[in-house]
């Protein structure tokens, strides 16, 4: 399977007043056609920065190294013209906060139509018809009426649906969903996940799903990449990862999750002590060692590399025994 | 479901704003005053009972209510009401011209300063420079170079208003450009000009309208100051400001000649401020009353 999106050795460093800050360190992953890859981790793990570097949304203070290939076209270091033609048509982005992701002074129909008219060259009438179809596709009832609404007249879940409709308007190859359900309540979340699943099935869109919600991962993803402090520490098929987590951080995340955790019956969820470190440079060590219950001497002296194979893990002392489901 | 749909607010944003303004009695009063002022100013040629520059020395200092002179006459026997009508024309002219001038220059500069960080410092320091420069010296200098006239007074006032305009637009741009819909537009492949024109400027519109409605009365008062100093409109043509300054030396003998244009300035300024205020409230989408 040729990957639609191939990220190789992606590193992102921010220039700050306190010196450089390493946000992403040699991250590599691939997303196949119609595949849903979930990138999970705590806040501050570099998930969003990874996503933003794919979409070209990073501020100028960021230095990006490595390679992001979309359908064979290199995006890192590409000239503005190439980037502009790729964005919008090939990559679409869904933001976390539906309240601010639509322009408040135009109707939603206008905003969707505008994307269609500029990128596909539809005329006004066709764009309107297509916009209604798209709104129906994302599950908005009475789309003919809703098309004339302003964003402030819609609920958060509806706005997120409109955002998705806009994102898929040009039939993008890759949809980056950056915590698409975090700002929504649970019942609305399920609806949005249904919409994303439907898109993948009907349009064959590949989705990079950024989330810290393992319930969402289990629901939607094919494959999971667990990030910690800017590095991918474990990547596997979703069932394999849930059944057989090998990195202590992954087991920690699973243990801290009420929906997917294995401690649902116990009184208290298991938290991972400590916080994600803020790194000025990436050390030659495991960045999780400080918080890791399984840390051994090697962990602080040498950086573990991802093991080869379908289930890859970067750990000196991985969890080997399968967890009872 | 039918009930829910009946509660859906009207579709059009502008119609919603108009409805909100019309529901506010204070705003309607302000609008009415403005409408009357505009009608009086525009049709002064036909509406004014007398020629505003026609002197009638035998009838000087006629008090208000004198036959043919509803608001009395001034020291040269000119009809105060007619002069107020023509004065309104000059004042509105200056107010609108000055604000238009500051909009045309201030809005693009504000957008650029807020959007492109590299140029921000340069524009912002220039703004500080203009702000630090005394307005009257600027006006005197402009009058010395280009001659004292109503248009030059408007330009001087407009220049003085540019920094405020730049700062308003810049801060709005800074706020708006960090919002997700601008990021979404970037992902869509939109260029800088498109983002500024389609996403940032329309959203800064309400702040601009408010700034403009505050700027017009400020310019009217500025014109009064400049005309008072002889830097604005040239006699015998009236403006509300020159009427005030001419009448002050006879203020004890003919107070109406000073009070009437003063009241006109006050009403006009108040009306603009009220309308600006209610527009700001009506344009705020977060306002609780729909």
Chain A residues bordering chain B (beta-carbon distance below 8 Å): 55-57, 83-89, 91-93, 95-97, 100-107, 114-115, 118-119, 142, 145, 148-150, 152-153, 163, 166
pLDDT at residue number B290: 41
pLDDT in tens, B47-71: 888 888 888 787 778 777 777 777 8
pLDDT at B36 over 90: yes
pLDDT in tens, A241-296: 888 888 988 888 887 776 544 545 555 677 777 777 777 777 888 888 888 888 88
CB atoms under 10 Å from CB of A183, counted, come to 18
Best probe of the A interface among B13, B189, B190, B202, by most A CBs < 10 A, is: B189
pLDDT at B111 over 90: yes
pLDDT at residue number B11: 45
| Residue whose C-alpha is closest to residue A40's, from A31, A30, A48 | A48
CB atoms under 10 Å from CB of B23, counted, come to 12
Mean pLDDT of A205-210: 91
Give the nearest chain B residue to A96 (CA atoms): B180
Q: Which two tokens stand for residue A30?
A: 């691939």
Nearest to A87 among B5, B179, B189 (CB): B189
Report the distance separating Cα A285 and Cα A291, nearest Å: 13
Q: How far is A315 from chain B (nearest CA, A)?
A: 36
- ipTM, two decimals, is 0.74
Mean pLDDT of A152-169: 87
pLDDT in tens, A82-111: 777 777 678 888 888 877 888 888 889 999
Report the distance separating Cα A124 and Cα A224, nearest Å: 41
Best probe of the A interface among B11, B177, B178, B188, by most A CBs < 10 A, is: B188
What dotted CATH number matches B17-45+69-283?
A: 1.10.3720.10
Nearest to A95 among B9, B184, B189 (CB): B184
The overall average pLDDT reported for chain B is 84
Q: How far is B273 from chain A (nearest CA, A)?
A: 24
Give percent above pLDDT 90 in chain A. Answer: 8
Contact residues on chain A for B187, CB-CB shorter than 8 A:
55-57, 87-88, 91-93
Nearest to B181 among A55, A85, A102 (CB): A102
pLDDT in tens, A217-254: 888 899 999 998 888 999 999 998 888 888 988 888 88
pLDDT at A322 over 70: no
Q: By three-state DSSP, how is residue B120 classified?
A: helix
CA A324 to chain centre: 28
Beta bridge partners of A82: none
pLDDT band at B164 (very low <50, low <70, confident <90, very high): very high
> What domains, with CATH codes, occur in chain A?
3-90+173-283 (3.40.50.300), 103-171 (no CATH)
Q: Do A57 and B191 touch (CB under 8 A)?
A: no
Mean pLDDT of A159-174: 87
pLDDT at residue number B169: 94
pLDDT at residue number B286: 56
Nearest to B189 among A88, A101, A153 (CB): A88
Q: Structural domain boundaries of chain B?
A: 17-45+69-283
Q: What are the phi and psi torsion angles at A231 (to 5°)?
A: -120, 150
Q: Do B189 and A83 touch (CB under 8 A)?
A: yes
> What is the DSSP track for A173-186?
SEEEEESTTTTS-H
The overall average pLDDT reported for chain A is 84
| Residue whose C-alpha is closest to residue A280's, from A8, A25, A9, A7 | A25
pLDDT at residue number B162: 94
Q: Which residues of B215-239 are buried (b: 16+ CB within 10 A; e: fewer)?
A: bbbbbbbbbbbbbbbebbbeeebbb
What residues contact residue B91 under an 8 Å CB cut-off, 6+ apart? B41, B220, B223, B224, B239, B240, B241, B265, B268
Nearest to B9 among A56, A153, A163 (CB): A153
């Amino acid at each position: 399977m040729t990957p639609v999106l191939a990220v190789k050795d992606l590193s992102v460093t921010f220039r700050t007043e306190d010196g450089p800050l390493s946000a992403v360190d040699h991250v590599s992953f691939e997303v196949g056609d119609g595949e849903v890859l979930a990138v999970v981790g705590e806040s501050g793990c570099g998930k969003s920065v990874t996503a933003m570097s794919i979409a070209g949304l990073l501020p100028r203070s960021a230095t990006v190294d490595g390679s992001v290939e979309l359908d064979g076209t290199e995006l890192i270091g590409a000239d503005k013209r190439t980037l502009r033609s790729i964005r919008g048509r090939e990559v679409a982005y869904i933001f976390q906060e539906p309240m601010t992701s639509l322009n408040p002074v135009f109707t939603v129909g206008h905003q969707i139509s505008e994307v269609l008219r500029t990128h596909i060259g539809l005329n006004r009438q066709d764009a309107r018809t297509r916009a209604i179809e798209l709104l129906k596709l994302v599950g908005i009832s009475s789309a003919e009426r809703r098309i004339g609404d302003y964003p402030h007249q819609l609920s958060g879940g509806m706005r997120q649906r409109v955002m998705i409709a806009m994102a898929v308007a040009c039939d993008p190859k890759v949809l980056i969903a950056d915590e698409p359900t975090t700002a929504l309540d649970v019942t609305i979340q399920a609806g949005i996940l249904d919409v994303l699943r439907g898109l993948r099935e009907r349009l064959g869109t590949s989705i990079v799903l950024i989330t810290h919600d393992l319930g969402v991962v289990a629901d939607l993803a094919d494959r999971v990449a667990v990030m910690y402090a800017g590095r991918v520490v474990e990547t596997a098929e979703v069932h394999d990862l849930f059944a057989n987590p090998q990195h202590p951080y992954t087991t920690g995340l699973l243990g801290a999750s009420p929906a997917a955790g294995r401690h649902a019956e116990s009184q208290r969820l298991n938290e991972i002590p400590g916080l994600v470190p803020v790194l000025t440079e990436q050390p030659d060590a495991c960045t999780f060692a400080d918080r890791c219950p399984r840390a051994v001497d090697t962990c602080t002296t040498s950086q573990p590399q991802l093991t080869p194979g379908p289930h890859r893990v970067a750990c000196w002392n991985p969890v080997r025994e399968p967890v009872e489901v | 479901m039918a009930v829910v749909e009946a509660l859906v607010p009207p579709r059009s944003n502008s119609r919603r704003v108009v409805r909100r303004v019309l529901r506010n009695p204070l705003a309607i009063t302000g609008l009415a005053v403005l409408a009357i002022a505009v009608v009086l100013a525009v049709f002064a040629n036909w509406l004014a009972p007398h020629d505003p520059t026609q002197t009638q020395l035998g009838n000087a200092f006629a008090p208000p209510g004198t036959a043919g002179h509803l608001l009395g006459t001034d020291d040269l026997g000119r009809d105060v009401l007619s002069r107020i009508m023509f004065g309104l024309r000059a004042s509105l002219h200056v107010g609108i011209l000055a604000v238009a001038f500051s909009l045309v220059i201030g809005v693009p500069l504000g957008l650029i300063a807020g959007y492109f960080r590299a140029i921000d410092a340069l524009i912002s320091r220039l703004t500080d420079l203009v702000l630090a420069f005394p307005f009257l010296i600027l006006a005197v200098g402009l009058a010395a170079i280009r001659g004292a006239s109503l248009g030059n007074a408007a330009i001087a006032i407009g220049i003085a208003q540019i920094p405020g305009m730049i700062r308003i637009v810049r801060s709005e741009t800074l706020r708006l450009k960090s919002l997700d819909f601008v990021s979404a537009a970037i992902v869509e492949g939109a260029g800088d000009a498109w983002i500024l024109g389609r996403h940032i400027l329309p959203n800064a519109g309400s702040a601009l309208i408010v700034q403009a409605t505050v700027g017009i009365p400020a310019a009217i008062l500025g014109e009064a100051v400049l005309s008072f100093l002889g830097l604005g409109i040239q006699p015998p043509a009236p403006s509300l400001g020159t009427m005030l300054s001419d009448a002050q030396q006879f203020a004890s003998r003919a107070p109406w000649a000073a009070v009437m244009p003063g009241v006109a300035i006050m009403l006009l300024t108040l009306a603009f401020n009220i309308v600006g205020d209610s527009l700001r409230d009506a344009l705020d989408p977060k306002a609780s009353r729909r």
